[in-house]
Every structure is written in C-alpha cells, then in structure tokens.
C-alpha cells in the first residue's frame, strides 16, 4: 500500500490525466465523431486514450455535468436536446449574447477595449462572412461563426458569461453535427451591425443588434427545417446561426 506521501505525489499526475481525458473527449464530441444517442463505454475510451479507468471516469463525470453526455445506469450516451430543450437553450443563448454585446460596447465606450481587440472582432466578423458562402463546408461555417461569438463573449469582460456561452455552444455543436452538412443558414448577416455598435460604443444598439441576430437565427432554424418528425426537428433546429 502506498504511503500518504506517495499518494500525495500521485495526485497531480492523476489530475493531469483526468484533465487531458476531459479535453480530448470533449473535443471528440464537439468535432462530431459521435452522434446524439451513441453509447460510450469506459473500456473503449480507456483503450482509445491509453489511460486507466480513474481519469476516464472523472472526465465522463465532468462531461455529464456539462450536459454533453447522459448517464443511463449502464454507462453514458451522447446527449441530445428535445425541441423544448432546444427552445430553452436558444432563449438563454439569446439573452446572454445580447448581454455580451452590450457589455463589450460599454467597455469600448469607457475606453477599455484596445484597437487590437476591435480589429480582431472585425476580422472575426469578416471571416465568418467569408465562410458562409458557397464552396465552404458547413463545418467551417459553424467554426467561423462560433469563433466570432466566443470572441464577443471574451470582450464582454465577464468570465462567467463566457463560460455559460461556451457550455451552450458545446451542446449546440453536438446535436447539430447530425444534420450540419444539410444546413447552409448557419451565419445570418447581422454580425456587421453588432460590430458597428460595439466600435461606436453604443451599448443599447449592440444589445438590440445581437438580440435581432439570435432571433433571425432561431426563425431560420424553425422555418428552414424540412423535418417530418419531432426527432428530426430537434436536430434541425439545433443548428443556430447566431
């Protein structure tokens, strides 16, 4: 049996292994290697990651806390979102995105954003627009759109807001991967309005532009779906362009 001293020296390594397992499994889920409903077994994941069960089990607990996997009593499955859950997520996302834009514009008004940060925001908006056209994969369009919105969250200066949006976008990403290649309305054209309001230091205009952007995306998801049943509609409406 290892001594208390030995156990204390083992903990940092075990923590690092659990963190590495969490990051690798999270990226695997967000990159679309699994569909909602897929079963994940500890043994398979241990073999894939080259790790023991302890860090893998801890990683799965964290992913379950994030809402990315769901316990079934016999392991875990990749989470999905029902139509009602999707509506709730979109409502929260809209409120948080509008708040992020408002806080970023307030920071600009108060002289807290640097020219480099504003240039980065403009570049992210242009990159998202370029990746919304023909000849670009839907996955690339999704990534460019996500990068813009997470940058917006960072410029808000509120780390709790950024973390909350990151969690919501992660859930969007998983349920969207089943139909993302059939969707081309991932980036409605309202990023420029958000950017202009932030650069102008106008919190109310930035908030309104972000809210309109999310509303447009939600409307496009609802009306652009060709789904014929509830499960398909849940997947289709889970590809927000906001």
pLDDT band with cut points at 50, 70 and 90 for residue 232: very low
Q: For the chain, which residues make up each domain, given as ranges?
A: 4-78, 83-236
Average pLDDT, the chain: 81
pTM for the full model? 0.76
CATH architecture of 4-78: Orthogonal Bundle (1.10)
DSSP per-residue string spanning 162-177: HHHHHHHHHHHHHHHT
Classified as helix, coil or strand, 200 is: coil
| Tokens describing residue 201 | 């230091």
For residue 16, the tally of other CB atoms under 10 A from its CB is 11
Q: Is 67 exposed, middle or buried (0-12, 13-18, 19+ CB in 10 A)?
A: middle
| Tokens describing residue 142 | 């999704």
Q: What is the pLDDT of residues 37-69, one digit of tens each?
A: 999 999 999 999 999 999 999 999 999 999 999
For residue 141, the tally of other CB atoms under 10 A from its CB is 22
CATH architecture of 83-236: Up-down Bundle (1.20)
The span from the CA of 186 to the CA of 50, in Å, is 36
For residue 202, the tally of other CB atoms under 10 A from its CB is 18
Domain 4-78 and domain 83-236, same fold? Reply is no
Single out the residue of 174, 129, 125, 131 nearest to residue 150, CA to CA.
125
* Stated length of the chain: 242
Question: Stretch 9-36: mean pLDDT, rounded?
Answer: 80
Q: What is the pLDDT of residues 117-175, one digit of tens each?
A: 999 999 999 998 888 767 777 778 888 888 999 999 999 999 999 999 999 988 888 87
**Residue in this structure with the two tokens 């397992």, named with its chain if needed:** 21
């Amino acid at each position: 049996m290892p001594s208390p001293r030995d156990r204390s020296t083992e903990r940092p390594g075990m923590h690092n292994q659990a963190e590495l397992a969490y990051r690798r499994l999270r990226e695997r889920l967000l990159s679309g290697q699994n569909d909602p409903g897929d079963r994940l077994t500890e043994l398979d994941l241990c073999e894939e990651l080259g790790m023991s069960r302890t860090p893998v089990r801890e990683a799965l607990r964290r992913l379950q806390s994030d809402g990315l996997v769901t316990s079934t009593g016999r392991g875990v499955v990749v989470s999905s979102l029902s139509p009602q859950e999707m509506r709730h997520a979109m409502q929260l996302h809209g409120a948080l995105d509008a708040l992020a834009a408002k806080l970023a514009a307030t920071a600009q008004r108060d002289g807290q954003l640097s020219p480099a940060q504003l240039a980065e925001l403009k570049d992210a908006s242009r990159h998202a627009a370029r990746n919304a056209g023909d000849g670009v994969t839907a996955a690339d369009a999704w990534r460019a759109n996500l990068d813009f919105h997470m940058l917006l969250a960072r410029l808000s200066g509120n780390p709790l807001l950024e973390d909350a949006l990151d969690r919501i976008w992660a859930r969007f990403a998983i349920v969207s991967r089943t139909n993302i290649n059939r969707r081309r309305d991932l980036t409605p054209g309202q990023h420029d309005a958000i950017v202009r309001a932030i650069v102008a230091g106008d919190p109310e205009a930035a908030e309104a532009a972000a809210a309109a952007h999310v509303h447009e995306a939600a409307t496009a998801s609802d009306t652009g779906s060709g789904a014929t049943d509830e499960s398909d509609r849940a997947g289709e409406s889970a590809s927000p362009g906001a």
